[in-house]
Structures are given as structure tokens and as C-alpha cells.
Amino acid sequence: MRSSRENVAHAGLLTAKYSAFYTDKKAVAAGEKIVSDSACRRCHNIGADGGTAAADLNASAMKYTGEYLDGKIKNVNEYMPDFHFTDGERRVVILYLLNAASKQPKKVSEPYVAYITPSKKGAFEKHCGGCHRMITRIGGGKGTGNEAANLSGLLTEYFVSSVLPVGGKHWTEKRLKEWIKNPRSINKLAVMPPVRITDAELDKVIKDISGK
């Protein structure tokens, strides 16, 4: 409610909690592992690579304080998976984000619109949205379900599936179509039932998931 010369002078500066993003290599490495294991790049650009469905975290890390980033990771929007990171895990993730962003050349960011509300109902909502949800760059948020996996970035190289057989850990459009029609043709232990869907609707679902 009040400001002072000290508050103004220190506004936006990194606090001690997040200042070791260059020097604490062990913590940065721990954060990198969490980011990799959690497949954050299926939606976010981090360092030199990643998706575009959600905010560019290089830009976010350079613009916002560590406390702000911590709040966004702790209190996720309705289309971001909640990984339930501990305070310590969030801290090292932020150290890694700061470290990765600092190594990228500065560039003018393209205008970005973050969708945090549901889009108009379509094929995905009709056939998949009761169990799944996801966010896409073009279509925004889709689906309302939490019973099954969050499908954001499903067709990217960063989405590692736990239901595909050994040697097929990444989804393709062809494999996804086969799965939707009959999941047990790919995994005999699949709990998802076959979806009664026309070929035309299936094409629309794939288009929704790919975000094209």
C-alpha cells in the first residue's frame, strides 16, 4: 500500500532465493531434470527449443520475478497440468528457467494470446473432452475432464506416453487414429474404450489435437 525509495529501486530485481541461477549448477541441473521429466516443452519454449501452445518461458523468465513465476507454477490455470511440485522443486525449476533464458539471444517477441477459457465446442469436446483437456496455440483451451491425461502437446516429440508399447513412445496422427478407434489394438491393457466416431469427425479431432 505504500512505496519507498528502496521499494522502487529494487522493483523487479531477483531476490536472493533465485539469484544463484548461474552459480548453483547442481540446483540448475535438478531443475532441468524436472522440466524434462514433466515434459514442459510440449507446450512451452524453454532455452533453445519447445512448443508454442503456451507462453514462451524464456520471455517470461526475463520479464518477471522468481516469485511471480513460482505463483504461476503453484497455482496453474485450468488447462495446465498440476504437477504438485514442492517448494524446493519449484525453486530449482525457476533457477533452470532463468539460466536457460539467460543463454538465449534477445529478440522481439511476437504478439501472444494466452487462452485460459474454453473454446467453442467441437469434435474434441464431443468425443474426448469429457475425460481429457488440453490447450492449443490456435484453438485455445479444449475439454473439461480431469479423469484422463492432459493432452496438451500430444503430437510433439516432448509428450512421452505411458500407454504406448516399447519402441513407440511418441504419438503420430496415424497411431492416434488407430488408438481412438480401438485402443486395445495398440495396448491390450488399455482402459480407454473404443470411440464411436465417423472418419470425418476423427479428422476433426486430430486437427483439434494438432492445433493446426
Tens-digit pLDDT profile for residues 142-172 = 999 999 999 999 999 999 888 888 767 789 9
Share of the chain above pLDDT 70, in %: 88
Distance CA 94, CA 70 (A): 7
Domain 123-210: assigned CATH number: 2.60.40.420
Confidence (pLDDT) at 117 = 54
Q: What is the pTM of this model?
A: 0.82
Domain 17-102: assigned CATH number: 1.10.760.10
Flag residues of the chain having pLDDT under 50: none
- At 83, list the grid cell: 504437477
| Domain positions in the chain | 17-102, 123-210
Confidence (pLDDT) at 108 = 52
Confidence (pLDDT) at 3 = 66
Confidence (pLDDT) at 165 = 80
Q: What is the DSSP string of the chain?
A: ----HHHHHHTTPPPGGGTTTTT-HHHHHHHHHHHHHTTGGGTSEETTEE-SSS--HHHHHHHS-HHHHHHHHHS--TTS------HHHHHHHHHHHHHHHHTSPP-PPPP-----SB----HHHHHTTTT-EEEETTTEEEE---SS---TTTTSTT---SSSPTT--S--HHHHHHHHH-GGGT-TT--SPPP---HHHHHHHHHHHHT-
Distance CA 169, CA 159 (A): 8
Q: What is the pLDDT of residues 116-140, one digit of tens each?
A: 555 567 899 999 999 999 998 877 8
Contact between 23 and 16 (Cβ < 8 Å): no
